[in-house]
A and B are shown apart, each in its own frame.
Chain A
Amino acid sequence: MVMERISAELVECDVHTDELLINMGPQHPSTHGVLRLVLRTDGELILDVIPHIGYLHRSAEKLGESLAARQWLPYTDRLDYLASMNMNLGWSLVVEKLLGLEVTPRAACVRVMVAELNRIASHLVAAGCYGLDLGSFTPYMYAFREREKILDLFEAACGARLTYSYIVPGGVTADLPNGWLDRCAAFLDQFDPTIDDLHAVLTSNDIFIRRTAGVGVLDMKTAIDYGCTGPVLRGSGVDWDLRRDGEPWYARMYEGYAFDVIAPVHGHYRNEAAYPAAPRAAVVGDCWHRFFVRMIEVVQSMAIIRQAMDRYRGTDASMGQPIKATQKLPRGEAYLETEAPKGQMGFMVIGNDTKTPHRVRARSSCFCNLSVAPELCRGGLVADVPAVIGSLDLVLGEIDR
């Protein structure tokens, strides 16, 4: 047998490894529900990520065509089930827009309060699960402990802990019970310092920073091109929040409330001295900033709730009348986007002088935010995939509908 001498350089080029196609999900601990990702990897290196959706499809939009506007409301609970109040709000507002229905000031105050509380709850889930995605178990428990208290408040207000159907077209199902405002204030006072715990175990943790800073960088142009919204868009430095910049039908709800839109514009946050400083390795648009934007939005939401509580005390007791299931929808169409915790949630309704809408459509923010995931994961390592997916804060109930 003749042994050929091969130069070391040739050996180096000759040894090629096969690409591995690996299925991540729909049953996987860190795909946040039933997302399925097909990873094309070369060793630990990610060559491509192909998301597959539809495992939680329940024909919610089609069902809306055979249900009255009031009856479809519980289905919105199940879109983004971590922020059902915000989903209720989006649908209620668009139906009101079609009907030209105004809500009373007190009902508007209650809506702002519960919507912002739910934003806090949703961001807490995002933060806690993000810790879990990165292998840190404890922040999850810290975040869920606080979320439970918010759910207690919701339970007191409407009887449900997950699917509220509390905000309905025309107002809310019932006024807040006696003593609720005090409980809410007590919660906010107690919750305020615990945010620092999360900052300690996550935001400022050295390993956390190494895992997230500079990982999955989403530049401003790509974010806008892909239609990313919410904290994902703001994390890329776009100063855009529908609560301030949205259609008047929605944004007027937040008129008079003082709050900051959290986005690292040119790498700097408003009032950034009040928060933990961004680590040197962090780049605008990376996982760290997306996470951080959520953490600071929680603080802003608390400020809004406190203002709403004051405003609530000054309103008269009129709650308005929620619409009935027999309410006919006039001919015409309405579309409205609201700032849900995960991004801009749009609802469309087309009425045709019957009880049931001609067409119902929900525009999911998570769908667009997910579509950018392959761009962010490509070229990273396997461990970066959960880091990126977690930072996008997806809820499959909303994507699949």
Chain B
Amino acid sequence: MTTFLLQWLNPPWLAYALAALVHCGLLLALVVGSVAVCNWAERKIAGRVQDRLGPARVGGRFGWLQSPADGLKLLCKEDLIPADADSLLFRFAPYISLGASFAAFVAIPLSNDWVAQRLDAAAFFVLAVAGLEVFGVILGGYASGSKWSLFGAMREAAQVVSYEVPLGLCVLVPVMVAGTMNLVKIGNMQEGWFTNWLIFHDPFTFITFWVYLTCAVASVNRAPFDLAEAESELVAGFLTEYSGFRWSAFFMAEYGSMLAVSFLAAILFFGGWNGPVPIARWFGLMQENGPLAGYLGNLLGLANMLAKGSLGIVVMMWIRWTLPRLRIDQVLTTCLKYCIPLAAATFVGAMAWTFVARGGLNAGNDDATTRPGVATGGVQGEVAMTKSQ
């Protein structure tokens, strides 16, 4: 698209800026659209879990217009800033959360090489940027000038130090197995049947996923780890004083993060854009068979990715509407006492497993060329290598 625009627009920077804007718009549309759908899905799922219908009338059937109607309501609300609030920080906080949550999508590939920015350290980038989201929560709670909000912020601060470490360790395990932080490469090396997915790579990655799930739910502040919000204890925690658009910014940030961690899980553990069955390869929808075939294959990959991301979100909603909330000390215990040792153990275990699978010390000599992720090898390469030993 940039090349197309360069032909028409005289100062080249204008073409670049325009192309960037369009790409931004596309990415934002995907995320915001997903948030709207998630919001609707949450209501429907909550309804079904609770033996009721959920929204059924807004917009005709299935209440599909519920999310836009809600958005409109929020936009029309009075713009409230409490007298005791730190006005500037109070207004600033939601956009930190929103920005951090949405920025993670810059590095998340939605299909083979369909990524806003190709980063060699994409996994690291996603973790780092998504981790920034809590600053908005802490800042918002602190700036609200309300004791309940302050409680929420304090809890968030306590929670963030407990789940970030095991979350990082869990992401490190598939990264180590793959030998790269490049999410595109990690996704591509899981191509083929679902047995190539990293979750089925070895028992340790399998355990790692469940630890990741726990920490990811904690990181997006969803029940049973929604302590910063904790409706029955802290009224609404850091959100107590927020209303209208600023509230919806936090809300979108939460759903954006849910989507981000689900996509990350899909890429790191569930083959990313590769379906359980290699349909794309059977039909020749591969990059090497021409651009159209590659494009169609990528569309299929996008559908795969969205399906896996949605599944992750549905699981999180299912958990939310089933379980009671943990207490703050129990959250810290869960994350620090159980998740960290478990994640560390699986890290060591996966390391040993890959080491042995690659033939132990003997494989060291030609490691530079055959290391999966660097070359074309991937998991299959690894298996082939083990056989050749």
Contacts and interface: CB of A to CB of B under 8 A. Distances in A.
Nearest to B146: A22
Interface stretch (B4-12, B165-173, B191-199, B231-239): B231-239
A138 B322 contact: yes
A141 B232 contact: no
Contacts of A383: 227, 230, 233, 325, 327-328
A248 interface: no
Given A44-B328, A210-B326, A138 B321 contact: yes
Interface stretch (B46-54, B112-120, B337-345, B362-370): B46-54
A386 B324 contact: no
A381 B46 CA distance: 29
Interface string B238-255: 000000000000000000
Contacts of B223: 135
A20 B147 contact: yes
How many chain A residues sit at the interface, stated as a range, is 20 to 34
A344 B258 CA distance: 49
Interface stretch (A200-208, A292-300, A312-320, A350-358): A200-208
A382 B321 contact: no
B224 A137 contact: no
A303 interface: no
Contacts of B155: 44
Given A30-B232, A132-B232, A135-B232, A205 B324 contact: yes
Nearest to B333: A210
Contacts of B110: none
Contact of A29 (B154, B235, B321): B235
A331 interface: no
B226 interface: yes
Given A205-B324, A210-B330, A137 B50 contact: yes
B325 A134 contact: yes
A28 B235 contact: yes
B323 interface: yes
B148 interface: yes
B151 interface: yes
A382 B237 CA distance: 12
A145 interface: yes
B324 A134 contact: yes
A136 interface: yes
Interface string A121-156: 000000000011111111001100100000000000
Contact of A135 (B154, B226, B328): B226
A134 B324 CA distance: 5
A386 B46 CA distance: 23
Interface in A342-401: 381-386
B329 interface: yes
A135 B51 contact: no
B233 A382 contact: yes
A356 to B, nearest CB: 43
Contacts of B323: 135-136, 205, 207
A97 interface: no
Contacts of A22: 147-148, 151
15 contacts: A22-B148, A29-B231, A44-B154, A44-B329, A133-B232, A135-B231, A135-B233, A137-B46, A201-B322, A210-B326, A210-B330, A381-B327, A382-B151, A382-B233, A386-B233
A-B complex: 7 closest residue pairs judged by Cβ atoms: A135-B325, A136-B324, A141-B50, A134-B324, A30-B232, A383-B327, A22-B147
Given A135-B325, A137-B50, A382-B234, 13 more contacts: A22-B147, A23-B147, A29-B231, A29-B232, A29-B235, A30-B233, A43-B154, A44-B155, A142-B50, A207-B324, A210-B327, A211-B326, A381-B328
Interface of A: 20, 22-23, 28-30, 43-44, 131-138, 141-142, 145, 201-202, 205, 207-208, 210-211, 381-386
